């Protein structure tokens, strides 16, 4: 065992010596388009440290994180309780991943998760959201004996082959066919669902209670009625709560917003990790698990090499404990209501701002065609080059001028999505609303640096055609 001395591994020294090469290393050895994109929009920052809902650069400037690592940092970055749990589990030197024993931590985490979904009975642990969805798809097809899975237009469920098959965005699917047998149905369209179920080959409908792309919620009553239709046709309801779960929407799970909805399978990941060790979980009914694992010969028919590892289980247990102790779900509901209310009050004030929607701390801000001639001509210019450019024009000054990290909600969408750590409070709401108001003022002035940057984005979009 080395102590990190001469000849050993010294992480601090390595980062001190080569940390400044981060963008060059990525361009040379990883996805070369990522640093190119970040440079184009001015997002090529160097963050030195992070805590809670903030980053800091080398000069000590703070940046408010309204993205939470795409939802991973639900309880904020580097929460001390999660850090201690990981130190403790490493110090315990458990006999982890022997694969021929039963460790206590997976059962304890499953027990704690299932307490929030009393109609579900068992859990499979993988390593990511896409694995959680893959598990649900496999289990649904095996349990029902049917091949086809329905999903909703504009859905996002992951990027491995099975989960990609139920993605509603062609940009992710193009070039990767053939995929699993599937059919898209519009979110909220019960007639379309009914037509597909009549064919008799549907195993399940997989649905995000609130879609990540665009932040569109299922219409009131849809999930409950869809569940009834599915069960009538011996098909299952899969709730993808990878992003919406664990308090994000002001309920522990987003499906719980609607009374009577009890999905057969629920997918969880992202925030369960505490931002450290990747973990995914598929919760399901006992009869489904008993069908899949129907005999001792099938004990490994679905497994994962790193699934249920001690670090991931300890992180998950710590996260759920923090959520209970700090009343994270209630804070997400209260702070989310306040933020949406403050933003919605701006809709009548700014003609480019069309709608504020969402639940809890999952909020979509949508922009649209203005009424005044001066702004309409600029809007038309942007739309002709590429849809989604105005939203990008808003995201960039929020970071560059106000040090707030946000994202456009999807390709070709004029929507900004806010999914901050669930620990933010009134101070962060005030900061974001003030910054957003300032950006809207600049946008409606019809000139200045914001629209100069818009012309740069137009040139870039045209060049990429």
Give, in words, the CATH class of 45-75+328-463: alpha beta
- Among 93-97, 223-227, 371-375, 457-461, whose mean pLDDT is lowest? 457-461
Q: For residue range 311-343, what is the model confidence (pLDDT) as tens digits?
A: 999 999 999 999 999 999 999 999 999 999 999
CATH of 80-325, one of 1.10.3720.10, 3.30.750.210, 3.40.640.10, 3.40.50.300: 3.40.640.10
**What is the value of pTM for the model shown?**
0.94
Q: Which residue has the tokens 């037509």?
A: 195
| Domain residue ranges in the chain | 45-75+328-463, 80-325
Question: Is residue 4 pLDDT above 80, yes or no?
Answer: no
Q: Are 229 and 194 in contact (CB under 8 A)?
A: yes
36 φ, ψ to 5°?
-65, -45
93-96 own/partner pairs: CB under 8 Å, 24+ apart = 94/310, 96/309, 96/310
Average pLDDT, the chain: 94
Alpha-carbon span 99 to 309, nearest angstrom: 10
Q: For residue 2, name the pLDDT band (cuts at 50, 70, 90).
A: very low
**How confident is the model over 277-301, as a mean pLDDT?**
97
The pLDDT of residue 183: 87
Q: For residue range 149-203, what is the model confidence (pLDDT) as tens digits?
A: 999 999 999 998 889 989 888 888 888 888 888 789 999 999 999 999 999 999 9
Q: For residue range 25-62, what is the model confidence (pLDDT) as tens digits?
A: 999 999 999 999 899 888 999 999 999 999 999 999 99
CA distances from 201 to 179, 196, 293 (A): 16, 8, 23
């Amino acid at each position: 065992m080395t102590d990190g001395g001469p000849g050993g591994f010294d992480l601090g020294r390595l980062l001190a010596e080569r940390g400044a090469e981060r963008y060059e290393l990525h361009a040379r050895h990883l996805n070369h388009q990522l640093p190119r994109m970040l440079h184009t929009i001015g997002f090529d920052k160097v963050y030195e440290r992070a805590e809670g809902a903030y980053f800091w650069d080398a000069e000590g400037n703070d940046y408010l994180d309204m993205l939470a690592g795409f939802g991973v940092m639900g309880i904020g970055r580097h929460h001390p309780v999660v850090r201690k749990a990981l130190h403790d589990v490493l110090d315990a030197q458990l006999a982890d991943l022997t694969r021929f024993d039963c460790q206590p931590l997976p059962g304890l985490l499953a027990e704690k998760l299932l307490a929030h979904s009393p109609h579900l009975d068992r859990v499979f642990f993988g390593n990511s959201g896409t694995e959680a969805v893959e598990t649900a798809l496999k289990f649904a097809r095996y349990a029902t004996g049917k091949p086809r899975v329905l999903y909703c237009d504009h859905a996002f469920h992951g990027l491995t082959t099975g989960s990609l098959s139920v993605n509603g965005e062609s940009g992710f699917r193009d070039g990767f066919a053939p995929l699993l047998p599937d059919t898209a149905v519009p979110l909220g369209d019960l007639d379309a669902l009914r037509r597909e179920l009549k064919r008799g080959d549907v195993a399940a409908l997989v649905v995000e209670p609130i879609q990540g792309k665009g932040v569109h919620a299922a219409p009131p009553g849809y999930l409950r009625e869809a569940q009834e239709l599915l069960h009538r046709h011996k098909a299952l309801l899969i709730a993808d709560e990878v992003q919406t779960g664990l308090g994000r929407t002001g309920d522990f799970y987003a499906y719980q917003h609607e009374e009577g909805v009890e999905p057969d399978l629920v997918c969880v990941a992202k925030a369960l990790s505490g931002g450290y060790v990747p973990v995914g979980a598929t919760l399901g009914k006992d009869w489904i698990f008993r069908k899949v694992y129907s005999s001792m010969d099938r004990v490994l028919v679905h497994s994962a090499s790193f699934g249920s590892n001690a670090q991931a289980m300890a992180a998950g247990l710590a996260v759920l404990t923090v959520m209970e102790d700090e009343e994270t779900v209630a804070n997400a509901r209260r702070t989310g209501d306040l933020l949406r209310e403050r933003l919605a009050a701006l809709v009548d004030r700014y003609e480019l701002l069309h709608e504020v929607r969402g639940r809890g701390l999952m909020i979509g801000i949508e922009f649209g065609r203005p009424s005044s001639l001066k702004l309409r001509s600029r809007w038309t210019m942007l739309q002709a080059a590429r849809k989604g450019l105005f939203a990008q024009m808003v995201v960039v000054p929020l970071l560059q001028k106000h040090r707030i990290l946000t994202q456009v909600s999807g390709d070709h969408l004029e929507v900004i999505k806010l999914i901050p750590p669930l620990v933010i409070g009134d101070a962060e709401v005030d900061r974001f609303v003030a910054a957003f108001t300032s950006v809207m003022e600049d946008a409606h002035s019809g000139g200045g640096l914001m629209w100069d940057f818009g012309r740069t984005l137009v040139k870039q979009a045209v060049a990429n055609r």
